[in-house]
Structure 1
Amino acid sequence: MGEHIAASLNRMTLPTGQGKTWTAHRVASVRMVNDIRAYRSAHQDGEWLTMSEAAAKLGVTNHCIRRLIKAGLLPAEQVVARAPYQIRADDLLDQRVIEAAARTARPCRIDGGNQVPMFSST
Protein backbone atom coordinates (compact mmCIF):
# COMPACT_ATOMS: atom_id res chain seq x y z
CA MET A 1 0.00 0.00 0.00
CA GLY A 2 2.91 2.34 0.68
CA GLU A 3 3.90 2.27 -2.97
CA HIS A 4 0.42 3.49 -3.97
CA ILE A 5 0.57 6.34 -1.48
CA ALA A 6 4.10 7.24 -2.61
CA ALA A 7 2.99 7.24 -6.25
CA SER A 8 0.04 9.52 -5.43
CA LEU A 9 2.19 11.95 -3.46
CA ASN A 10 4.75 12.05 -6.28
CA ARG A 11 2.01 12.64 -8.89
CA MET A 12 0.80 15.58 -6.81
CA THR A 13 4.42 16.84 -6.77
CA LEU A 14 4.48 16.88 -2.96
CA PRO A 15 8.06 16.33 -1.76
CA THR A 16 9.15 14.97 1.62
CA GLY A 17 10.30 17.39 4.31
CA GLN A 18 13.82 17.08 2.89
CA GLY A 19 12.63 17.85 -0.65
CA LYS A 20 12.98 14.25 -1.87
CA THR A 21 10.50 12.12 -3.77
CA TRP A 22 8.38 9.60 -1.91
CA THR A 23 9.13 5.88 -1.74
CA ALA A 24 7.20 3.08 -0.04
CA HIS A 25 9.89 2.98 2.66
CA ARG A 26 9.58 6.72 3.34
CA VAL A 27 5.79 6.46 3.55
CA ALA A 28 6.07 3.52 5.98
CA SER A 29 8.57 5.44 8.09
CA VAL A 30 6.35 8.53 8.34
CA ARG A 31 3.33 6.38 9.20
CA MET A 32 5.24 4.53 11.91
CA VAL A 33 6.72 7.69 13.48
CA ASN A 34 3.34 9.46 13.49
CA ASP A 35 1.30 6.35 14.42
CA ILE A 36 -0.84 6.56 11.27
CA ARG A 37 -2.55 3.21 10.72
CA ALA A 38 -3.91 1.86 7.48
CA TYR A 39 -7.66 2.06 7.00
CA ARG A 40 -9.39 -1.00 8.36
CA SER A 41 -10.20 -2.75 5.09
CA ALA A 42 -6.50 -2.74 4.23
CA HIS A 43 -5.80 -5.12 7.11
CA GLN A 44 -7.34 -7.95 5.06
CA ASP A 45 -8.80 -9.69 8.10
CA GLY A 46 -12.11 -10.15 6.31
CA GLU A 47 -14.10 -7.95 8.71
CA TRP A 48 -13.77 -4.80 6.57
CA LEU A 49 -13.91 -4.63 2.78
CA THR A 50 -13.09 -2.10 0.11
CA MET A 51 -15.80 -0.99 -2.30
CA SER A 52 -14.41 -3.27 -5.01
CA GLU A 53 -14.31 -6.26 -2.66
CA ALA A 54 -17.91 -5.59 -1.56
CA ALA A 55 -19.01 -5.26 -5.19
CA ALA A 56 -17.34 -8.56 -6.07
CA LYS A 57 -19.05 -10.33 -3.16
CA LEU A 58 -22.47 -9.05 -4.23
CA GLY A 59 -21.78 -9.55 -7.95
CA VAL A 60 -22.44 -5.90 -8.79
CA THR A 61 -20.42 -2.87 -9.88
CA ASN A 62 -18.73 -0.24 -7.72
CA HIS A 63 -21.36 2.21 -8.96
CA CYS A 64 -24.10 0.02 -7.49
CA ILE A 65 -22.28 -0.08 -4.13
CA ARG A 66 -22.00 3.73 -4.18
CA ARG A 67 -25.75 4.01 -4.82
CA LEU A 68 -26.53 1.64 -1.93
CA ILE A 69 -24.31 3.71 0.36
CA LYS A 70 -25.86 7.00 -0.82
CA ALA A 71 -29.36 5.59 -0.31
CA GLY A 72 -28.44 4.65 3.27
CA LEU A 73 -29.03 0.93 2.70
CA LEU A 74 -25.38 -0.06 3.05
CA PRO A 75 -23.49 1.47 5.99
CA ALA A 76 -19.95 2.55 5.12
CA GLU A 77 -17.25 4.63 6.75
CA GLN A 78 -14.60 6.97 5.42
CA VAL A 79 -11.57 8.05 7.44
CA VAL A 80 -11.80 11.49 5.83
CA ALA A 81 -13.85 12.93 2.99
CA ARG A 82 -12.96 11.37 -0.37
CA ALA A 83 -11.09 8.51 1.30
CA PRO A 84 -11.95 4.95 0.22
CA TYR A 85 -15.12 3.55 1.75
CA GLN A 86 -14.74 0.91 4.45
CA ILE A 87 -17.60 -1.56 4.41
CA ARG A 88 -18.22 -4.12 7.13
CA ALA A 89 -18.48 -7.59 5.58
CA ASP A 90 -21.42 -8.48 7.84
CA ASP A 91 -23.45 -5.58 6.42
CA LEU A 92 -23.48 -7.31 3.02
CA LEU A 93 -25.56 -10.11 4.57
CA ASP A 94 -28.45 -7.72 5.38
CA GLN A 95 -31.51 -8.84 3.42
CA ARG A 96 -32.34 -5.24 2.39
CA VAL A 97 -28.86 -4.87 0.84
CA ILE A 98 -29.12 -8.21 -0.98
CA GLU A 99 -32.56 -7.33 -2.39
CA ALA A 100 -31.49 -3.83 -3.44
CA ALA A 101 -28.39 -5.21 -5.17
CA ALA A 102 -30.50 -7.81 -6.99
CA ARG A 103 -32.90 -5.22 -8.41
CA THR A 104 -30.28 -2.82 -9.74
CA ALA A 105 -31.13 -1.32 -13.08
CA ARG A 106 -29.70 -3.21 -15.98
CA PRO A 107 -28.88 -1.71 -19.39
CA CYS A 108 -31.92 -1.37 -21.59
CA ARG A 109 -32.00 -4.00 -24.34
CA ILE A 110 -34.69 -3.22 -26.88
CA ASP A 111 -35.40 -5.68 -29.65
CA GLY A 112 -34.47 -3.79 -32.82
CA GLY A 113 -36.46 -6.03 -35.17
CA ASN A 114 -38.79 -3.23 -36.32
CA GLN A 115 -36.12 -0.55 -36.35
CA VAL A 116 -35.21 1.15 -39.62
CA PRO A 117 -31.43 1.22 -40.16
CA MET A 118 -29.81 4.63 -39.94
CA PHE A 119 -27.44 3.93 -42.83
CA SER A 120 -28.27 1.96 -45.91
CA SER A 121 -25.95 -0.92 -46.61
CA THR A 122 -23.36 -0.08 -49.24
Structure 2
Amino acid sequence: MIPAVLTAMYTIELIGSFVARHVESGLTVDLTSRRNRSTTKGPLSPLCRKLVELGHDPDGRVHVIRKALDRDGHIPVFQRDRTLETWANRDCVESETRSVHVQKYRPYPDAVEATQKGQHLSTI
Protein backbone atom coordinates (compact mmCIF):
# COMPACT_ATOMS: atom_id res chain seq x y z
CA MET A 1 0.00 0.00 0.00
CA ILE A 2 1.22 3.52 -0.82
CA PRO A 3 1.52 5.77 2.26
CA ALA A 4 -0.64 8.85 2.14
CA VAL A 5 1.07 12.21 2.39
CA LEU A 6 -0.99 14.70 4.33
CA THR A 7 -0.42 18.36 3.73
CA ALA A 8 -2.38 21.22 5.16
CA MET A 9 -5.05 22.80 2.97
CA TYR A 10 -5.89 26.47 3.41
CA THR A 11 -8.94 28.13 1.89
CA ILE A 12 -8.76 31.87 1.31
CA GLU A 13 -11.76 33.89 0.17
CA LEU A 14 -11.19 37.07 -1.82
CA ILE A 15 -13.81 39.68 -1.01
CA GLY A 16 -13.67 42.42 -3.60
CA SER A 17 -10.26 43.77 -4.62
CA PHE A 18 -8.89 44.73 -1.22
CA VAL A 19 -10.01 42.09 1.32
CA ALA A 20 -8.91 38.46 1.82
CA ARG A 21 -10.11 36.12 4.57
CA HIS A 22 -8.69 32.81 5.77
CA VAL A 23 -11.87 30.74 5.96
CA GLU A 24 -10.72 28.28 8.65
CA SER A 25 -9.53 30.87 11.21
CA GLY A 26 -11.38 34.01 10.14
CA LEU A 27 -8.11 35.98 9.92
CA THR A 28 -8.72 38.89 7.55
CA VAL A 29 -6.48 41.34 5.71
CA ASP A 30 -8.21 44.54 4.61
CA LEU A 31 -6.28 46.91 2.34
CA THR A 32 -9.22 49.21 1.63
CA SER A 33 -7.26 52.16 3.00
CA ARG A 34 -4.82 51.76 0.08
CA ARG A 35 -7.62 51.96 -2.49
CA ASN A 36 -6.97 55.38 -4.08
CA ARG A 37 -3.29 54.99 -4.87
CA SER A 38 -1.76 54.77 -8.31
CA THR A 39 -0.26 51.35 -7.51
CA THR A 40 -2.01 48.79 -5.35
CA LYS A 41 -1.11 45.34 -4.06
CA GLY A 42 -3.57 42.53 -3.63
CA PRO A 43 -4.50 41.20 -0.16
CA LEU A 44 -3.69 37.52 -0.85
CA SER A 45 0.07 37.68 -0.30
CA PRO A 46 -0.02 39.74 2.92
CA LEU A 47 -2.53 37.27 4.36
CA CYS A 48 -0.28 34.32 3.44
CA ARG A 49 2.73 36.06 5.03
CA LYS A 50 0.68 36.56 8.22
CA LEU A 51 -0.32 32.85 8.26
CA VAL A 52 3.33 31.78 7.90
CA GLU A 53 4.28 34.22 10.67
CA LEU A 54 1.63 32.64 12.92
CA GLY A 55 3.21 29.21 12.44
CA HIS A 56 1.10 27.62 9.70
CA ASP A 57 2.74 25.01 7.47
CA PRO A 58 4.44 26.82 4.54
CA ASP A 59 4.15 23.66 2.42
CA GLY A 60 0.36 23.58 2.80
CA ARG A 61 -1.72 24.17 -0.32
CA VAL A 62 -3.75 27.37 -0.69
CA HIS A 63 -7.12 27.21 -2.46
CA VAL A 64 -8.37 30.71 -3.39
CA ILE A 65 -12.11 31.26 -3.89
CA ARG A 66 -14.57 34.10 -4.41
CA LYS A 67 -18.36 34.40 -4.44
CA ALA A 68 -20.00 33.34 -7.68
CA LEU A 69 -21.87 36.17 -9.39
CA ASP A 70 -24.32 34.02 -11.35
CA ARG A 71 -25.32 31.51 -8.63
CA ASP A 72 -25.05 30.71 -4.94
CA GLY A 73 -21.75 29.48 -3.55
CA HIS A 74 -18.10 30.08 -4.37
CA ILE A 75 -15.86 29.45 -7.36
CA PRO A 76 -12.09 28.94 -7.55
CA VAL A 77 -10.04 31.95 -8.64
CA PHE A 78 -7.03 30.02 -9.99
CA GLN A 79 -6.86 26.77 -11.96
CA ARG A 80 -4.43 25.19 -9.52
CA ASP A 81 -3.49 25.55 -5.89
CA ARG A 82 -0.07 26.79 -4.81
CA THR A 83 1.77 26.50 -1.50
CA LEU A 84 1.43 29.01 1.28
CA GLU A 85 5.14 29.82 0.94
CA THR A 86 4.77 30.52 -2.79
CA TRP A 87 2.05 33.11 -2.18
CA ALA A 88 3.95 34.58 0.79
CA ASN A 89 7.00 35.20 -1.43
CA ARG A 90 5.05 37.02 -4.16
CA ASP A 91 2.99 40.20 -4.53
CA CYS A 92 0.18 40.81 -7.01
CA VAL A 93 0.58 44.41 -8.12
CA GLU A 94 -1.72 46.53 -10.26
CA SER A 95 -1.17 50.08 -11.43
CA GLU A 96 -3.00 52.66 -13.50
CA THR A 97 -0.82 51.86 -16.52
CA ARG A 98 -0.32 48.09 -16.12
CA SER A 99 -2.71 45.24 -15.37
CA VAL A 100 -2.18 42.78 -12.53
CA HIS A 101 1.25 41.15 -12.53
CA VAL A 102 3.07 38.98 -10.02
CA GLN A 103 6.45 40.04 -8.68
CA LYS A 104 8.82 38.89 -5.97
CA TYR A 105 7.97 40.21 -2.50
CA ARG A 106 10.39 42.77 -1.09
CA PRO A 107 9.87 44.19 2.40
CA TYR A 108 9.27 47.92 2.49
CA PRO A 109 12.72 49.14 3.69
CA ASP A 110 14.45 47.24 0.86
CA ALA A 111 12.09 48.74 -1.69
CA VAL A 112 12.78 52.27 -0.42
CA GLU A 113 16.52 51.65 -0.45
CA ALA A 114 16.41 50.40 -4.06
CA THR A 115 14.56 53.47 -5.30
CA GLN A 116 16.93 55.78 -3.42
CA LYS A 117 19.87 54.25 -5.27
CA GLY A 118 18.28 55.27 -8.54
CA GLN A 119 17.03 51.81 -9.48
CA HIS A 120 13.45 51.41 -10.56
CA LEU A 121 11.35 48.43 -9.51
CA SER A 122 10.98 47.32 -13.11
CA THR A 123 14.75 46.96 -13.57
CA ILE A 124 15.35 44.74 -10.54
State the TM bucket, normalised to the shorter chain. Answer: under 0.3
Which structure is higher in RCO with an 8 Å CA cutoff and minimum separation 6?
2
TM-score, normalised with respect to structure 1: 0.23
